[in-house]
Amino acid sequence: MDAPRVLELLADLERQDIPVWLDGGWAVDALLGTQTRAHDDLDIVSRIEDNGRVVGALGERGYDVRYDAAPSCFVLVDAEGHQVDVHPAAFAANGDGVYRMENGEAWTFPASGFGGAGTILGREVPCLTPDVVLVNHTTGYDLDEAHERDVTALSERYGLALPEYARAPRPAPPGSA
């Protein structure tokens, strides 16, 4: 998933008045203002009531639903293998977005977390805020080297504290000696 494609997809969704916020690796890079690594997919958070509209808008670009765990999440992929992971949230009256994970538990994006903005190829794009992206990027995952670099770069840029386990020394991966 390259930067021009991300911008095209975001522009299509914006033209159709479908608000989305970047999360995941592209959110990290947008918040840093530069692409730091190749990305396999594009993670977006959307409003749950827009699920059908997101599928329709991306369908116009040749994307089909390949994995459907709605209302939790769903994944769309085009013929070339470009993947968009959609994480729909139900918005509460206070602005918090509640995402229902596949295990049935609720993950709450705080209302303030939807105010982020980053840049991709000089264009401003909507993102979750750096603190929310950091939490999302580190919770429930064993971080590989690339994701550890993401977490460190985001933490340093925005003066955020790394989660304790991300600061702990890790053994070298097998075969790295």
pLDDT tens column, 43-67: 999 999 999 999 999 999 999 999 9
What's the gap between Cα 40 and its chain centre? 12
Contact yes or no for 134/160 (Cβ under 8 A): yes
Under DSSP, the state recorded for 146 is H
pLDDT tens column, 145-161: 888 888 889 999 999 98
pTM check: above 0.95: no
Give the architecture (CATH level 2) of 3-167.
Answer: 2-Layer Sandwich (3.30)
Query: Which amino acid is present at 58?
Result: L
SS3 letters across 63-88:
CEEEEECCCCCEEEECCCCCEEEEEE
Strands 97-100 and 83-91: antiparallel
Helix, strand or coil, per DSSP, at residue 173 = coil
The structural domains of the chain, with segments of one domain joined by +, span 3-167
Angle between helices 24-32 and 145-158 (to 10 degrees): 40
